[in-house]
Amino acid sequence: MFDVLEIRKEFPILAKKVNDKPLVYLDNGASSQKPISVIETIKNCYENEYSNVHRGLHFLSNLATEKFEAVREKTRSFLGAAYLEEIIFTSGSTEALNLVSYAWANQNLEYGDEIILSTLEHHANIVPWHFLRSRKNVKLVWIDPDENGQISFEMIEKKISSKTKMVCITHMSNVFGSIIDVKTICQNLKKRGIVTVLDGSQAIVHLEVDVKSIGCDFYTFTGHKLFGPTGTGVLYVNKKRIEEMVPFIGGGEMIKNVSKDDVTFNQSPFLFEAGTPGIAEIIGLGAAIDFVLSFDRKSVLEYEISLSEYARAKLQRLDWLAKHSFHSDNLAIFSFSMEGIAHAHDMATILDANGVAVRSGHHCAQPLMKFIGVPATCRASLALYNTQEEIDMLIESLEKCKKLFG
């Protein structure tokens, strides 16, 4: 059985008070809180097991290397990848998507080639392609979501031309919580020889992901949203694409030999992991994956669906609230505003006074804000440790906003 009250005991910060009110943390889409197991793993690494990895022959270096590389195997299994060399550690999804842009796209795209993007994308899956356009004169082709926040293969197909080389889309919107059918999209694009890049930063927290089944070329997620440390991320690269990539950053670890006249490169994944990595942080990411896998993920998803339905129903009753793509299939993320009454930042400030933490702003999705016609929204995003009582406190605080702003 899924017991949310027992799970909450694993997160010390949830017992905190803010402005003399119980903390209601509903900013999980930005970053999640950390369980004791992750905190203790990092602490233990620094206190008892720390050394640099891959280079030393002494006991601590071997131990740190063993623990660090064990996380790579854990991540491979977690994503359903076939080979260890397909798992590259990064500082987060932002670095991972830039890595794809520089290490693959910069080598394989030419003047006039086209990249299809959706208006749903986080800036991390937009700006690297703007950079590429500046370097290579490629063309960015945009797809707007439907009223449910969805992007379908049929919508993408209408934009495909003989110049289309890549499709870069989110697996789950960080503004709407809409889950994109990436499996159908990737499998159809593969038949056309079009490379697929998926931003799984939100989806990985809520869904079981199998990259082999999806059939994507690249898949990325960030650790700090998955109850892990900041400064951690993962890029999955299909083995076929690895052979088409060049190094992104040069330095230690990504080389075999260096002379005054030549450099011989290492194999993947080390080829793309130059320099000393976040050792304790990646080991902490492994603890976060263990934490997620300690539950029956179907039961967790069922709970999150139920909690989302409860939140959606409660928010729908506030007829003075503007709701942005509140479709019944969307999960865990709710964006709303009070048109003509208050700015999102004002709303968030009032909510914070009541101990309720939400996100306000454009959520690193300015093209989407322009598409839905608002400068910013408030966003409440749920995790497995949130409760119906916390949703009630959100509603109560929103009603205080309404009274205050009239």
Catalytic machinery residues: 364
Q: Is the dihedral of CA 207, 211, 216, 220 positive or negative?
A: positive
Residue in 95, 96, 135 with CA at minimum distance from that of residue 115: 135
Q: Which residue has the tokens 């209601």?
A: 24
Residue in 42, 68, 27 with CA at minimum distance from that of residue 273: 68
Strand 195-199 relative to strand 164-170: parallel, antiparallel, unpaired?
A: parallel
**For the chain, percent helix, then strand, then coil, each to nearest 5?**
45, 20, 40
Close Cβ partners of 385 (under 8 Å, ≥ 6 residues apart):
4, 7, 8, 10, 11, 14, 33
Cα–Cα distance, 3 to 5 (Å, whole number): 6
Residue in 36, 86, 9 with CA at minimum distance from that of residue 284: 36
Give the three-state DSSP class for 160.
Answer: coil
